[in-house]
Structure 1
Amino acid sequence: MLRSLDIRDMLLIDRLSLDFAPGLNVLTGETGAGKSILLDCLGFVLGWRGRAELVRAGATQGEVTAVFDLPAAHPARAVLAEAGIDAEDELILRRVNAVDGRKTGWVNDRRVSGEVLRALSDALVELHGQHDDRGLLNPRGHRQLLDAFAGIDLAPIRAAWTARRRAEAELAEAETALAAARAEEEFLRHAVAELEKLDPQPGEEATLDVARRQMQAAERIRGDVARAHQMLAGGGGEPGAEGVIVESVRWLEGAAGKGEAEALDGPVAALGRALVELGEATRGIEDALAAMDFDPRTLETTEERLFALRALARKHNVLADDLATLAGDLSARLAALDAGEARMGDLTRALREAEAAYDAAAGALGAARREAAGRLDTAMTEELAPLKMERAVFETRVTEGEAGPEGRDSVAFTVTTNPGAPPGPLDRIASGGELSRFLLALKVCLVQGADPLVMIFDEIDRGVGGATADAVGRRLARLAEGAQVLVVTHSPQVAALGQRHFRVAKAVEDGMTTSRVMPLDQGERTEEIARMLAGEQITPAARAAAEALLS
């Protein structure tokens, strides 16, 4: 609900504070008094695009503050949350217009852009007039209005649409991946076969390199070691070192038996120790020779595999130790290629199922909309008759359009005002007075499913009078039973039904024209409605008629 509106130095208004009430609020006054200025100021603080020059002559800046009550579940809270503004039960909008044209806005003392104000406006206020280009007269919103009237839950169709789009995306992604895989199929099959044949293992290159180096080294030194062994152990008819020492000991011991034994004890003992050391050396050399003993074919095989690993690593531009990982990756890609056709079949079936689910949901939604369209047309017929438009025909047309997250139905409100004439769009067929009555009847029918907006009607009763004006007023009062309605009106029948009545008047003070807005008490309301009935000269009959309307 719009609780208050405070205006400073805007257009013809110097200072003005208005407190609005729930229900029907009416603004009346003579033509040119400045009633539209209030709407201009309200539109300014809500971020609407309007007049370029709003600052009152002689002032440095103009300012408008609007205060709204914000219930817990109000849609404006979502707008505030998206803008990073804490929502409270009271929403204060303030906007300043400098004389140089600069505009600055605040929401609950937080500076915001005009876009945030306009987003809040969409959740707070709905303006209707004879030249309304928003809301009810915008064909793009007719489907949304019909859904609100029918109380349709769009969650199932949105979920079905999301599932269908996801299935389409997955199939397209799989087709792209399969096409890329097919482009390298020949390479994959050759590379995988080559790697599988070689079967490289992590760390194998280092192991082979060490073994190769060892065999190469053994091949170079084994001859020398073998010759050393031959010299120590003997062979080939030649005595070895051990045989020479043994023979020497035998000769020395023989000499000791012939005398001078003590002088030979030391040499014989030393040669005995030498024989022990010589035996250990010989056994060590024999062990070394055994270790160096290898089949030359083993070296050849080792070198061939080592060179094959390194060549394949160069070919794929990886380290030899990474060949095993590469083999796994290429095998996985090849497996994906081989399984691609089967997966494509699964994804195609999934897409068909998603399309079928969406088609079923869209069909059910379309049926619900067509049924609701019939109920809306019947309700409109009932509402148009009291508005002296019993010969007019209102029709809600539901046709098939482009598929989307809210179904594939196009909805358009069409009217016929004269029997036999073809139906057409609401804003092209009806005249100004007819349009306002169509608009009001439609709003009465649709309000049951609408968001809690403040509804503003700007001279929607223009061109009607008498019983028709009374019917307009009663429908506005019905709308105001569950919402706040602001009406700018020239109709006494409408003004008499307001819960709060404001009179707009223009005055000249010190050569400066200003507009004043005054809340009226019961007596003042009688005088104002009498003026609306009789004109400048208020007669007793006009007062009596005003009292009758107010009663």
Structure 2
Amino acid sequence: MLRRLTIRDFVIVDRLELDFEAGFGALTGETGAGKSILLDALGLALGDRADAAAVRTGRERAEVCAEFDLPPDGPLAAWLAEQALEVEDGALILRRVVEAGGRSRAWLNGTPVTLAQLREAGEWLCDIHGQHAHHALLRADAQRALLDAHAGAAEAVAEVAARYRDWRQAVERRERAEHDSAASERERELLAWQVRELEELAFDADEWQELNQEHARLAHAAGLMSGADEVLVALGDGELAAAPMLASLGNKVGEMAGIDASLEEVRSLLADAAIQADEALHALRRYRDRLDLDPERLAEVEGRIAAVTDLARKHRAAPEALPALLADWRRRLEELSASADPARLAEQEAAARKAYETAARQLGALRRPAAAALSAEVSEAMQTLAMAGGRFEASLIPLPDGSAHGDETVEFLVAANPSQPLRPLAKVASGGELSRIGLAIQVMTSRDSATPTLIFDEVDVGIGGGVAEIVGKLLHRLGRERQVLCVTHLPQVAACADWQWNIAKAEQGGEVLSRVSVLDQGARVEEIARMLGGVNITETTRRHAAEMLGAD
């Protein structure tokens, strides 16, 4: 649940530190006092998009910090472990800073995170129902998404979308092959000829480097032989050859070291030099023995280089890139060969369609019982919301050709009274009826959510009287299972809350700022009386407010 919300320089809030309680809490106050601003600030901490307008006038930045209890052993805990984000004392702190220039930064338990990470964590912590959320229920996609969430079908929905995409791609491949068969045949013939040409060359990138090294050696063989002979004479074959002279000098110093030990280092260095010179002499002799003037091999290497170069120039590629080019052509040739095989394409299409149909059936099997349960629950709620005899149905309408969302479309049908037939929600519900039905749907579906905190922002617009009291009791009952916060103008709803805050504007230093007061029982009586009676609060109004709160 939400434990604490700290706000700095956000819109008309300068500094607020709010400690939240469990159960059902009501946020009340005059219109424009800043009730929804608190929820906007919380939304910012949960990953909503930032706007420079959120920064209080004249300040450099706005900052919001929300502290939640971490639900134990849930998907959020597993997600945090995957992200290598540490949790201490079971608390999760989401922090967001928005600068006056519009730049935004986010942290989770002190670790910098992306906005996507902050939003993903927030989705497990809090669910906010906006004051116009019931209008979204008029859209077919929103109705489908709500039912799928009620059915816990997120994975099945994703699987259907993926399998549908695979199926449609298989259909497109077949149709494209049928349409472009002549062009594909010409391309396949050209590629086959080019592949044969490169395969006959039998060339690889390593060979190119070896060819160039061998060509350099053969082309300069005379110079290499002459140089090797000259070094051999100086190193070991001449009268003053270096290798034997080093050995002789080493022996001489060795005799001297026998008298003066300080010469031992010189002797060792000369001995090492003599060994190195002798090894170099033997290595150079072996190299010289392999050297030979071979005009035939030189011509052969030059011919091979010319053949590779000609093909590389022909295909506008570097010689060393020819093997990769051959691999690409082979892949493309295989694709074209496959596309030229109607039977194979038909098999692939049939397999993709079968996989889609299996996934769609599984999704439908999840939707049907969820639709029946939602229909019964919302219909039952309608009886208490001044729509006695009203009915609600989450209807599943078959789609013969299927879609990325499954084999059926979802449509919410409603009859506000017993004499009316079921008709689409968008066509029959008045503003007040839509508000009540929408609230019933939101409350019912919120029970399925794993999020520990539910927030309703003026979702009770368009209702009043006894219906408002019933709505308050619905939210109070929901507050026994979750933490529920509700921004409301209705005294009947606020009176059902376990605790209540008042949000008001106050002038300070020439600025209008938002202030929050925690209301005790006496203050709640006054606030409920204000909500009931407006400007002039009478003792009768206070008694009525006390009765609503169950006060003495």
Global fold match (TM > 0.5): yes
Q: CA, structure 1 residues 457+499, in 2 after alignment: closer, same or farther (shift >3 Å)?
A: same
Secondary structure of the residue aligned to 1:39 is helix
Do 2:374 and 2:444's aligned partners in 1 also have CA atoms closer than 8 Å? yes
Q: CA, structure 1 residues 357+53, in 2 after alignment: closer, same or farther (shift >3 Å)?
A: closer
Name the counterpart of 2:371.
Answer: 373
Query: Where do 5+ consecutive residues of structure 2 fail to align?
Result: 197-303, 313-326
Q: How many residues align?
A: 429
1:190 Cα offset (Å): 11
Name the counterpart of 2:215.
Answer: none
CA distance in 2, matches of 1:179, 1:75: 54
1:527 Cα offset (Å): 3.1
Name the counterpart of 2:383.
Answer: 385
Q: CA, structure 1 residues 174+376, in 2 after alignment: closer, same or farther (shift >3 Å)?
A: same
Do 1:381 and 1:390's aligned partners in 2 also have CA atoms closer than 8 Å? no
CA distance in 2, matches of 1:8, 1:156: 43
**2:523 paired with 1:533:** no
Secondary structure of the residue aligned to 1:66 is strand
Do 1:85 and 1:110's aligned partners in 2 also have CA atoms closer than 8 Å? no
Q: CA, structure 1 residues 17+139, in 2 after alignment: closer, same or farther (shift >3 Å)?
A: farther
Secondary structure of the residue aligned to 1:53 is helix
Name the counterpart of 2:143.
Answer: 142
1:446 Cα offset (Å): 1.8
Equivalent runs, 1:83-122 vs 2, <5 Å: 84=83, 86-88=85-87, 89-122=90-123
1:438 Cα offset (Å): 1.3
- The structure that has the greater radius of gyration is 1
Do 2:411 and 2:424's aligned partners in 1 also have CA atoms closer than 8 Å? no
1:66 Cα offset (Å): 1.1
Do 1:503 and 1:517's aligned partners in 2 also have CA atoms closer than 8 Å? yes
1:147-196 CA deviation, whole Å, 9 max, x = no partner? 33335572875786588579779989999999999658989999999xxx
AA partner of residue 438 (structure 1): I
1:470 Cα offset (Å): 1.2
Do 1:497 and 1:550's aligned partners in 2 also have CA atoms closer than 8 Å? no
CA distance in 2, matches of 1:54, 1:187: 63
1:33 Cα offset (Å): 2.4
AA partner of residue 407 (structure 1): G
CA distance in 2, matches of 1:473, 1:527: 19
AA partner of residue 526 (structure 1): V
Q: CA, structure 1 residues 192+510, in 2 after alignment: closer, same or farther (shift >3 Å)?
A: closer
CA distance in 2, matches of 1:371, 1:54: 44
Equivalent runs, 1:175-254 vs 2, <5 Å: none
Secondary structure of the residue aligned to 1:397 is strand
TM-align CA RMSD: 4.9
Q: CA, structure 1 residues 367+11, in 2 after alignment: closer, same or farther (shift >3 Å)?
A: closer
Do 1:20 and 1:500's aligned partners in 2 also have CA atoms closer than 8 Å? no
Q: CA, structure 1 residues 191+100, in 2 after alignment: closer, same or farther (shift >3 Å)?
A: closer
Do 2:415 and 2:423's aligned partners in 1 also have CA atoms closer than 8 Å? yes
Secondary structure of the residue aligned to 2:133 is coil
1:68 Cα offset (Å): 1.9
CA distance in 1, matches of 2:508, 2:394: 53
Secondary structure of the residue aligned to 1:449 is coil
Do 2:181 and 2:340's aligned partners in 1 also have CA atoms closer than 8 Å? no
Secondary structure of the residue aligned to 1:542 is helix
Name the counterpart of 1:279.
Answer: none
CA distance in 2, matches of 1:365, 1:423: 25
Name the counterpart of 2:225.
Answer: none
Secondary structure of the residue aligned to 1:383 is helix
CA distance in 1, matches of 2:190, 2:462: 82
Do 1:130 and 1:432's aligned partners in 2 also have CA atoms closer than 8 Å? no
Name the counterpart of 2:455.
Answer: 456
1:17 Cα offset (Å): 0.8
CA distance in 2, matches of 1:404, 1:87: 42
Do 2:435 and 2:462's aligned partners in 1 also have CA atoms closer than 8 Å? no
Query: Where do 5+ consecutive residues of structure 1 fail to align?
Result: 194-309, 319-328
CA distance in 1, matches of 2:195, 2:461: 84
Secondary structure of the residue aligned to 1:464 is coil
Name the counterpart of 1:407.
Answer: 406
Q: Higher mean Cα deviation, 394-403 or 13-22?
A: 394-403
**2:356 paired with 1:358:** yes
CA distance in 2, matches of 1:185, 1:510: 81
AA partner of residue 472 (structure 1): V
1:404 Cα offset (Å): 5.1
Q: CA, structure 1 residues 50+464, in 2 after alignment: closer, same or farther (shift >3 Å)?
A: farther
CA distance in 2, matches of 1:34, 1:147: 34
AA partner of residue 436 (structure 1): S
Q: CA, structure 1 residues 168+462, in 2 after alignment: closer, same or farther (shift >3 Å)?
A: closer
Q: Higher mean Cα deviation, 382-391 or 58-67?
A: 58-67
Q: CA, structure 1 residues 190+113, in 2 after alignment: closer, same or farther (shift >3 Å)?
A: closer
Name the counterpart of 2:55.
Answer: 55
Q: Matched residues, percent identical?
A: 43
Secondary structure of the residue aligned to 2:54 is coil
Q: CA, structure 1 residues 134+52, in 2 after alignment: closer, same or farther (shift >3 Å)?
A: farther
